[in-house]
Amino acid sequence: MQKIKQNEKSNQIYEEIKSNSELWHLFTRKEEYNILKLDKHNRFSYKISNYKEPLQPRVSEYLIKKGFNIEYPDDKKFAVVLTHDIDDVFLTLRHALRSFIPFPINKDFFGFKKLLITKIREKKSPYLNFSKIIDLEKKYNAKSSFYFLADENDIFGNKYLLENLQEEISYIIDEGCEIGLHTGYNAFDNLYDIKKQKNKIEQIIQKRIISVRNHLLRFKIPESWELLSDAGFEYDTSLGYYDMIGFRNGMCHPFQPFNLIKNKKIEISEIPVCVIDIALFSYMKINAIKSWEYIKNLIDTVERFGGVVTILWHNWTFSFPVSYAGLFGVEWTKLYEKILIYCTKKNSWITNGYEIYKHYKKQGFLKKN
């Protein structure tokens, strides 16, 4: 079929999806407009979704067949977005208490001993490992996005003061990585708080930020997109299941959301998150070896459709032996590098969300109304 013309891409994408009611309902997440059951954090679960094929990006597949096509720099076949949610930067009492619990899955029966030794030996927290993460990514000519909290109040106890991380944040920016906001737990549905936190991080880095991800992936459709748009963000990367990896709305490409109530596009773009470390470990309850089977399959799928696979690896996953009280063994850091190696061999563009957003917008796929 003839390819969609450059200046018609944004509108034609919507028209093509609308012509298939089943895919339109999936794309817009219609089933989430009237939810009767949520988890304790008010999140929509994959378990209660009517769509049971999250590993198949059916909407993107349909668009490809209809002429949707995206070209990447240097003839790359597909893209990989690397992201890190910075939930913790210091070893907390909660981590210490949890480290008493035996975790036979990692053969780490007394993580507290390792935590205590690290606390004594290290002059800084092992979670302040941004240079370690960036150095690893540099080996594969890659760069990532870091999402920081701007509110220390959290359901899991106090977090960190952003003001104390100015040096580390400046380093991340100097290395060509992106800084975004990780909205506080209590802010995801409060426009005033979201704006306040956005302003705070912008004052600290003396630079406007355009991207956001909600803490714990707390997200309500379509209200969250509307709020984040009103707060001044240009793109979000929260759309993903907290308890399953894959494609929540059948898209493995960035897109502009649609509000079914207002019957119009929402003035924000979405780069959906696809692979999440904590979803694999805590909810799917699979180890790093089994996780690789899922991840490899997703990468191969995204490559087939020339899409984008967004990876979320928390900074504490890289801090073994004290990685979140010993939950994540060193094999999870190795798994992250395995992803980088595999995607490099497959000739993918490995970068941060900002670069992807800018590229898709330039090519007309994220054109606003």
Residue 353 belongs to domain with CATH number: 3.20.20.370
- The average pLDDT across 161-167 equals 95
For 291-318, write each residue's pLDDT tens digit: 999 999 999 999 999 999 999 999 999 9
- Residue 113: inside a domain, yes or no? yes
% pLDDT > 90, the chain: 78
Residues composing the chain: 369
Local confidence band at 104 (pLDDT 50, 70, 90 cut-offs): very low
| CA distance linking residue 347 with residue 12, whole number of Å | 29
- Residue 291: inside a domain, yes or no? yes
- Residue 367: inside a domain, yes or no? no
Local confidence band at 93 (pLDDT 50, 70, 90 cut-offs): low
Name the least confident of 79-83, 244-248, 276-280, 321-325. 321-325
Reference 268, options 357, 201, 142; nearest CA is: 357
- Residue 355: inside a domain, yes or no? yes
What is the number of other CB atoms lying within 10 angstroms of the CB of residue 304? Answer: 15
pTM of the model: 0.93
pLDDT at residue 12, rounded to an integer: 86
Local confidence band at 369 (pLDDT 50, 70, 90 cut-offs): very low
pLDDT at residue 320, rounded to an integer: 74
Structure token pair of residue 114: 């390792």
Q: 258, 14 in Cβ contact below 8 A?
A: yes
pLDDT at residue 328, rounded to an integer: 80
For 23, phi then psi, to 5°, come to -70, -30
- Residue 312: inside a domain, yes or no? yes
Pairing of strands 211-214, 235-236: parallel
- Residue 368: inside a domain, yes or no? no
DSSP assigned state of 108: B
pLDDT at residue 366, rounded to an integer: 85
Q: Which amino acid is at 186?
A: N
DSSP, residue by residue, 174-234: HTT-EEEEEE-TTTTT-HHHHHHHHHHHHHHHTS---EEEEGGG---TTHHHHHHHHTT-S
Higher pLDDT pick, 363 / 341: 341
Question: Domain count of the chain?
Answer: 1
- Residue 193: inside a domain, yes or no? yes
pLDDT at residue 100, rounded to an integer: 54
Residue 283 domain boundaries: 6-362
- Residue 1: inside a domain, yes or no? no
